[in-house]
A = this chain, B = another copy of it.
Amino acid sequence: MRLRFKLKTVFILYFTVSLLGLIYALMHLGQHCECSEHDMTKDRTISRLLGKLHSLQGHTKKEPTKPHLPTIYVITPTYARLVQKAELTRLSQTFLHVPQLHWIVVEDSSQRTDLVSHFLEHSGLVFTHLHIPTPQDRKLQEGDPNWLKPRGVEQRNEGLRWLRENIWAGETAEGVVYFADDDNTYSLQLFEEMRWTQRVSVWPVGLVGGMRYEGPVVEQGRVVRFHTGWRPSRPFPLDMAGFATSLRLVLRNPEARFDGNSPMGFVESSFLQGLVTMEELEPKAEMCTKVLVWHTRTEKPKMKREEALQAQGLGSDSKVEV
């Protein structure tokens, strides 16, 4: 009897302990440890990093992956000259840093050139390649001072036309239009300042109009006048690089364009006048106290030695693209 009692006790004890152990083990197996939580955190981390990478790489020509960021449509008139490829190269390196940017390049030409076509294809940017020639009587002649005739008017208007024909003008059209000449210098911060423009936003431009900088003067959050060295009474004494227009405003005002017949210095006003009043302007760049864009100009390279060598049949190989 004693032996039976002992065995039964051992059995009951073992049974109880092992049952508890089994329940414990089953509970932990069912939880899959805690790796599902780690998993989600890591998935989110990977998503975030991929998003950043794509925007930094200006990945491919397909539509960018961040639909909630307004698109910056940059319209750049360009024309063939010795420094063109260099200018486009360094400009593209700026734009590659800017997320959700669509570059509209408009050649002053009766057809797309190989140089610009190949360049854009390899730029890594989302782009549209247009072309329209400037009428002969509007072109600057050799020896003309560069301010004599406004440049790029037809090309900017062509950019506007493309936007109006190709971007849907619905309520959700979110974006901003910026006219960026190919020889200026742009900080990256500038693009984030302009991105959320509601109508027309403005900021100072460095090294323009014979001044250290030109720009709006802001008091109590509103533009009250303009700091400029020339004809401050112009409706909008701004440089082309000193403002951006919301896409919605551009699409809703299909007649707004640049007038190539405007008096000197009034081209910007010819576009803005119908769109906005001075009081409605949105001042950026810390209430227009910071310079985030410079009106740099590139020297025309001298070709004296090239011409001398070419006369001897020893010039640079014309098949080498410069």
Contact = CB atoms under 8 A, between A and B. Distances in A.
A165 to B, nearest CB: 32
A168 interface: no
B35 A42 contact: no
Contact of A53 (B52, B82, B316, B321): B52
Nearest to A49: B49
How many copies of this protein are present in the complex?
2
A71 to B, nearest CB: 20
A301 interface: yes
A148 interface: no
Interface string A1-27: 001100110110011001001100110
Nearest to A309: B229
Given A11-B11, A15-B14, A212 B294 contact: no
Interface of A: 3-4, 7-8, 10-11, 14-15, 18, 21-22, 25-26, 28-29, 32-33, 35-36, 38-39, 42-43, 45-46, 49-50, 52-53, 56-57, 82-83, 85-87, 89-90, 93-94, 96-97, 185-188, 204, 206-213, 227, 229-230, 289-291, 294-299, 301-306, 308-309, 315-317, 320-322
7 nearest CB pairs, A to B? A229-B305, A35-B35, A210-B305, A25-B25, A86-B294, A49-B49, A212-B316
